[in-house]
Amino acid sequence: MIEIRFHGRGGQGTVVASKILADAIAKEGNYVQAYPEFGVERRGAPVVAFLRVDNKPIYDKSRIYTPDHVVVVEPTLVEAIDVTDGLKPGGTILINTDKKTTDFPQYKAFRVVTVDATGIAVKNKLGTLAAPIVNTAITGAVVKIFELAKLPSLQDSIRETIGIKTEDNVKAAAEAFEQVVFGKAGGK
């Protein structure tokens, strides 16, 4: 079983990203469970979403305390909260940033992977310049890094879920899929 935790801010589509991923993973026959942090969502406040993936039915309905990986949808959260809380040693942190993987020495116990999802969203005119919608780009990076689903399955899921600027979102996912930068363990 793989357990992934997502950190974003309310309004960015973090929960929708986990739902799109769940959909793409299920298309390829695996079992999946996606859920938001249980609470009242507020725009701009830190939000958390969770994803469990397995090749057999998932019975655990408790929260994820020790994720295998974390995905940081909103880069400002790196300063605001400890995104590594409970993260298994050697786990991967995917960060939406235009910085280099070596710019995160605080995560030296983990593997840092980056993707400039904000840049990709802006380029594809998703959301506004002030509040770009980065979630579909993030999903492209996630399936690439964790090999959870093939890109075409993800793109089908995006088409089924996103009703506005659908093809721009599909393109954003493909660009993120290509542009992921893998760092090495130990913050190098």
Partner 1 sequence: MKKVIMGNHALSYGAQLGRAQVVAAYPITPQTQVVELLSEMCADKSLDAKFIKVESEHSAMAACLGASLAGARTFTATSSHGLALMHELLHWAAIGRLPVVMGNINRAMAPGWSIWSDQNDSLSQRDTGWMQYYCASNQEVLDTTIQAFKVSEALSVPGMIMLDAFTLSHTYEVVDIPEQEKVDAFLPPFRPKLRLSSEDPRAFGGLTSPEHYFELRYKQQKDIEKAPALVAETGKEYEKLFGRRLELIEGYKNEDAELLFITAGTTGYTARVAVDALREEGVKAGNLRFRLFRPFPFAELRRLVGRSGRRVAVVDRNLSSGCNGIFFQEVKSALYGHVDGMPIFGYVSGLGGRDIALEHFREIAADALKRQPPAEEIVWIGVRK
Q: How far is the CB of 31 from partner 1 (least distance, A)?
A: 7
Comparison of 49 and 70: residue with beta carbon closer to partner 1: 49
Comparison of 15 and 112: residue with beta carbon closer to partner 1: 15
Q: How far is the CB of 91 from partner 1 (least distance, A)?
A: 19
Comparison of 42 and 63: residue with beta carbon closer to partner 1: 63
Q: How far is the CB of 79 from partner 1 (least distance, A)?
A: 28
Q: How far is the CB of 153 from partner 1 (least distance, A)?
A: 12
d(CA 71, CA 139): 10
State the residues that interact with partner 1 by CB under 8 A: 18-19, 22-23, 26, 31-36, 38-40, 58-63, 65
Q: How far is the CB of 44 from partner 1 (least distance, A)?
A: 20
d(CA 62, CA 28): 25
Residues forming a β-bridge with 51: 4, 34
Tokens coding 41: 């969502």
Residues forming a β-bridge with 52: 3, 33
Question: Which residue in 24, 21, 27 sits closest to 49, CA to CA?
Answer: 21
d(CA 52, CA 31): 8
Comparison of 34 and 134: residue with beta carbon closer to partner 1: 34
Q: Which residues of 153-174 are buried (b: 16+ CB within 10 A; e: fewer)?
A: bbbbbbeebbeebeeebbbbbb
Comparison of 60 and 178: residue with beta carbon closer to partner 1: 60
Query: How many CB atoms lie under 10 A from the CB of residue 145?
Result: 18
